[in-house]
Structure 1
Amino acid sequence: MSPVDISRIRPGSPSKMIYLGIFLTAMSTLLLEFTLTRVLSVSLWYHFAFMIISVALLGFGISGVILFRSKSIGKIPTGKLLSILGTIYGFSIIACFILIGKVPFDPFSLMTDSMQFVYLPIYYLLITIPFLFAGLIISVILTRFKSDVSKLYFADLVGAGLACVAFVIVIPALGGSGGIVAAAAIGFLAAILFGYESNKAISLIALVFFFLSFIFLIDAENRLPIKVTANKIYGNYMELRPDLKIRTDWNTFSKVDVLMDEEKAQDGYDTYLAVIDAGNATTTIPNVKVLPLPNKSADASNMAFASKDSVGRVFIIGLPEAEKFSADSITERSQLQL
């Protein structure tokens, strides 16, 4: 007996797999969107990252037009169609992420390099593609099961809401590249469920991709590196001198790399440099471990520790500017002469 597509027999009654599938698709889509805001803050600049919201909406809009205009899509059984779309969606996340790293887009060179006007639409078009397939999946479900839209939409919203929680956990644990892979893996899992009842062959393909995605999770930052735009000096410097990098950490709003100086400090107090989002901002980290300072400091960043015998009450915000405007908190300038 040939497989039977339950959703075609009872189009008004979605199976549990459909509910789980739309839940996972919404979760994957929101996780992808959140992660891309962090990734684009590193690869480009933070203010370009927020374009991802418009790009995601563009992908959803295009999916609605395709579904409305295409007659062939309506002829494909629901389970088979959703499983195919889910597999393509998960694959497109990783594939498009790799491809955008190959596009030499530099937004600050638009006025000096005419080719940037070619790279710009290509770059954002590649980002749009996964959202197009995600939009198709959700649109197909909502249009084919109209009588259960409220329940399906509830599953969609719960999945999207849990994506917010997942983002807080995934990004610090896996980083930007790992978050991309996690979104793809969840997409493959949705594809497995969509075809589980009636299209096990497609589900098997999605299952293979699901397990393959875990390979990328192992050392994701090196397997799927984030390409940094050419005008981020520190970001490109770290690629040339990985030996200077002490550690890298991600959080929900930034990526922080800690670098050591190329040369050994003359005073014995090595100074580290914290680079935020590969160059959006930097700050110096004085490596002061013992107070009061046993040696004369040669670096201005250590000046605030010169008259201190503990680190408990050291707070520095632009010391030169504080002196310039005679800030009251600088009580004895003589103590700052090292």
Structure 2
Amino acid sequence: MQNRGALLIGVFLISMCGLMLELMLTRFGSVLLYYHFAFLAISLALLGTALGGIGVYVMAERFPPQRVMAQASQFALGMALSSILVLVVLLSFPLPPNISIANAFTTQGLTLIAAIVAMALPFVFLGFCITIILKHGSADVGRLYFFDLVGAAAGCLLLIPLLNWLDGIAAVIWIGVLTMLSGLLFAWAGGHRRQLTLLAVGALVLIGFAFFNQQSHLLRIRYTKGLAETQPLFEKWNSLSRVAVFPLNRSARGGDATLAESAGGLNRMLIDIDAGASTFMTEFDGDFAKVDALKSEVASVAYRLTPKRNVLIIGAGGGNDVLTALLFGSQAVTAV
């Protein structure tokens, strides 16, 4: 081993990427399926890393100490590529939110099974990578484990600003780039020039694809909750949710008429949160006469019973309740 510093930073990076990817899969589980699928992502991450560790134990003769850095860089490459594979699988097929033994071997059932296998795969590579490094670095295991834990903690913290800056798809691609960078550091630590070059080229290709996809939207969410989703007018991810805006006359999921209910002549948009919770946003240019139809909605009942000068709205949503309060002459409106 020629460069211990590169090894330690590589361990930090790949552990950071592992936790970031795990958390991203909980977010995709919530958007594409339902929020409780977040637990599936966590379970698969634990299963995958455990399988990697068991694999090193069972096939110990295949992981000699002289090849540890070469193999670690290969596993990092496998983790990066399988992270992109997860995106392709999750975004290309409608995933059924419900599955049972009866329909497990139908097209929908097999699609969900394929998605589950794909979600576990990056963590299998992660388990192999971390395990062989700890196995053959036992003389310095305290320092290696320290960088492993600090990297994982950093991943939990860094994902928050990353999701506030990028969308979920771009975040996974950049996680793949950082994973390749960790492999590059492993190759550098072991003096493996060919693998170093391969990983450097791979990282550059992924960086280029990240910028390309930002413009082309080749990889984008096409299905949510097992149904086709029309392309939103606006989409923004944050650390808590994915928010998308759709015209009211065509719903988020396949033109479902139940969502496109009568707007009473109002020009409205549908705000969709994690493809599961919806609220309306009403166009308002300062002319209350144009939004007079709000007086006939359920939210107006409280103002008809007694005038309200000061109003507190808990759960402002798209602002409909704020407009209703102002329409009835409220002088102070606080929206939470």
Which range, TM-score by smaller chain?
Answer: 0.7 to 0.9
CA distance in 2: counterparts of 1:168 and 1:203, whole angstroms: 30
CA distance in 2: counterparts of 1:100 and 1:175, whole angstroms: 15
Equivalent pairs counted in the alignment come to 301
Is 1:275 the counterpart of 2:265? The answer is no
CA distance in 2: counterparts of 1:288 and 1:305, whole angstroms: 22
CA distance in 1: counterparts of 2:240 and 2:7, whole angstroms: 33
> Deviations for 1:78-119, whole angstroms, at most 9, x for unmatched residues?
221111111121111112321343454313253773424434
SS at match of 2:286: coil
CA distance in 1: counterparts of 2:301 and 2:217, whole angstroms: 38
Q: Unmatched 5+ residue regions in structure 1?
A: 7-13, 319-329
How far apart are residue 165 of structure 1 and its match?
2.1
Contact 1:291–1:309 (CA under 8 A) maintained in structure 2: no
Contact 2:95–2:226 (CA under 8 A) maintained in structure 1: no
Q: Which moved more, 1:246-255 or 1:211-220?
A: 211-220
Counterpart amino acid of 1:287? Answer: E
- Counterpart of 2:201 (choices 195, 198, 208) is 208
Other-structure match for 1:131: 123
CA distance in 2: counterparts of 1:148 and 1:105, whole angstroms: 44
Contact 1:174–1:217 (CA under 8 A) maintained in structure 2: no
CA distance in 1: counterparts of 2:222 and 2:263, whole angstroms: 35
Is 1:98 the counterpart of 2:88? The answer is yes
Is 1:140 the counterpart of 2:136? The answer is no
Task: Normalising by structure 1, report the TM-score.
Answer: 0.78
CA distance in 2: counterparts of 1:117 and 1:259, whole angstroms: 29
1:186/1:294 Cα in 2 relative to 1: closer, same or farther (>3 Å)?
closer
Contact 1:42–1:255 (CA under 8 A) maintained in structure 2: yes
- Counterpart of 1:290 (choices 286, 289, 302) is 286
SS at match of 1:180: helix
How far apart are residue 172 of structure 1 and its match?
2.0
1:275/1:104 Cα in 2 relative to 1: closer, same or farther (>3 Å)?
closer
CA distance in 2: counterparts of 1:118 and 1:266, whole angstroms: 40
CA distance in 1: counterparts of 2:28 and 2:184, whole angstroms: 28
Other-structure match for 1:87: 77
How far apart are residue 153 of structure 1 and its match?
1.0
- Counterpart of 2:223 (choices 201, 205, 228) is 228
Is 1:53 the counterpart of 2:42? The answer is yes
1:56/1:311 Cα in 2 relative to 1: closer, same or farther (>3 Å)?
farther
Contact 2:86–2:115 (CA under 8 A) maintained in structure 1: no
CA distance in 2: counterparts of 1:311 and 1:42, whole angstroms: 39
Is 1:260 the counterpart of 2:258? The answer is no
Other-structure match for 1:176: 168
CA distance in 1: counterparts of 2:195 and 2:9, whole angstroms: 17
SS at match of 2:235: strand
SS at match of 2:292: coil
Task: Normalising by structure 2, report the TM-score.
Answer: 0.78
> Deviations for 1:53-88, whole angstroms, at most 9, x for unmatched residues?
110110011111110111222265122111111112
Q: Unmatched 5+ residue regions in structure 2?
A: 251-261, 317-324, 331-336
CA distance in 2: counterparts of 1:164 and 1:277, whole angstroms: 20
How far apart are residue 262 of structure 1 and its match?
2.7
Counterpart amino acid of 1:27? Answer: M
CA distance in 2: counterparts of 1:40 and 1:160, whole angstroms: 21
How far apart are residue 170 of structure 1 and its match?
1.1
Other-structure match for 1:149: 141
CA distance in 2: counterparts of 1:312 and 1:119, whole angstroms: 53
Contact 2:77–2:179 (CA under 8 A) maintained in structure 1: yes
How does 1:190-201 map onto structure 2 within 5 Å? 190-197=182-189, 198-201=191-194
> Deviations for 1:126-176, whole angstroms, at most 9, x for unmatched residues?
111100101111111111111211111111111111112210111121111
CA distance in 1: counterparts of 2:293 and 2:135, whole angstroms: 70
Is 1:247 the counterpart of 2:237? The answer is no
Contact 1:216–1:223 (CA under 8 A) maintained in structure 2: no
Is 1:26 the counterpart of 2:15? The answer is yes
1:316/1:127 Cα in 2 relative to 1: closer, same or farther (>3 Å)?
closer
How far apart are residue 250 of structure 1 and its match?
0.8
1:108/1:296 Cα in 2 relative to 1: closer, same or farther (>3 Å)?
same
CA distance in 2: counterparts of 1:176 and 1:215, whole angstroms: 17
Q: Which moved more, 1:35-44 or 1:73-82?
A: 73-82
Q: Which moved more, 1:43-52 or 1:72-81?
A: 72-81
1:281/1:295 Cα in 2 relative to 1: closer, same or farther (>3 Å)?
closer
CA distance in 2: counterparts of 1:272 and 1:226, whole angstroms: 19
SS at match of 2:281: strand
Other-structure match for 1:74: 64
- Counterpart of 1:40 (choices 25, 29, 32) is 29
- What value does the CA root-mean-square deviation take over the aligned residues? 3.4
1:260/1:309 Cα in 2 relative to 1: closer, same or farther (>3 Å)?
farther
If you compute each CA radius of gyration, which structure gives the higher value, 1 or 2? 1
Q: Which moved more, 1:110-119 or 1:206-215?
A: 110-119
How far apart are residue 47 of structure 1 and its match?
0.8
